[in-house]
Amino acid sequence: MRMAKMISIRLDEEEIEYLEKLGGKTRGIKLLIEYHKNRTNEEQRELDPAERFYQYIILPADQRLRETYQSFLELFIESGGRRASLDYYAPHITGRTGFDEKTVRKHFRKLSSLKFVKHDGLLFRPTLRLREGFAAEDFEKPYKDFVDFIQARGIYRDIGIDLWEK
């Protein structure tokens, strides 16, 4: 059986109001402690290759641009790092993000002006910029793991035929 101890802390009015909104001071403090414990547990869990990869690079701040950029980056890696025209990439990005082709083209203009996408004539490729505090040497392993992850993601065996033919 756990023993509860009484503690006292000094809080200003704003903090007390916040705790009251959470269901009272005691309940509010317990909820905050539980939230902090859960966050700590999440940080300790093993990250998949995509999460590790995206931790290293700078992504667009706008959510829609981020989705388009990540889809483009993954398609670029899946194709073996070959530059291609927007006419080739747009339908694939449309299918992955749900944006129409006109919106994808608009996103590419913005991504290009923000230097997330580079183009050589009509051929596009993504740029990778490391976050502050990360070295290029440290990025090599997460990048290779991510490439392996992306390339293995599309490999599967269709067992439906075996099931339907029985």
For the segment 37-48, the average pLDDT, to the nearest whole number, is 68
Are 139 and 148 in contact by the 8 Å Cβ rule? The answer is no
> What crossing angle do the helices spanning 136-153 and 63-78 adopt, rounded to 10°?
80
Q: Write down the pLDDT at residue 64.
A: 94
What per-residue confidence (pLDDT) applies to 127? 92
Q: 86 and 26, same structural domain? A: no
Percent of the chain whose predicted confidence (pLDDT) is above 90: 41
Question: Domain span at residue 80?
Answer: 50-153
Residue 40 has a pLDDT of 64
Question: What is the residue-averaged pLDDT of the chain?
Answer: 85
Q: In the chain, how long is the greatest CA-to-CA distance?
A: 72
What's the total number of domains in the chain? 2
Band the pLDDT of 47: cuts 50, 70, 90: confident
Q: Are residues 37 and 61 in the same domain?
A: no
**Structural domain includes residue 67:** yes
Question: Among residues 102, 123, 127, 99, which one has the least CA distance to residue 114?
Answer: 127
130 within domain boundaries: yes
pLDDT of residue 35: 81
Question: Model's pTM, two decimal places?
Answer: 0.66
| Whether residue 156 has pLDDT greater than 70 | no
What's the pLDDT at 59? 94
Task: Please report the pLDDT score of residue 2 as a whole number.
Answer: 67
| Domain membership flag for residue 62 | yes
At 25, the amino acid letter reads: K
Quote the tokens at residue 52: 């590790």
pLDDT tens readout for residues 70-126: 999 999 998 888 899 999 999 999 999 999 999 999 999 999 999 999 988 889 999
33 with 114, same domain: the answer is no
> Does 120 lie in the same domain as 55?
yes
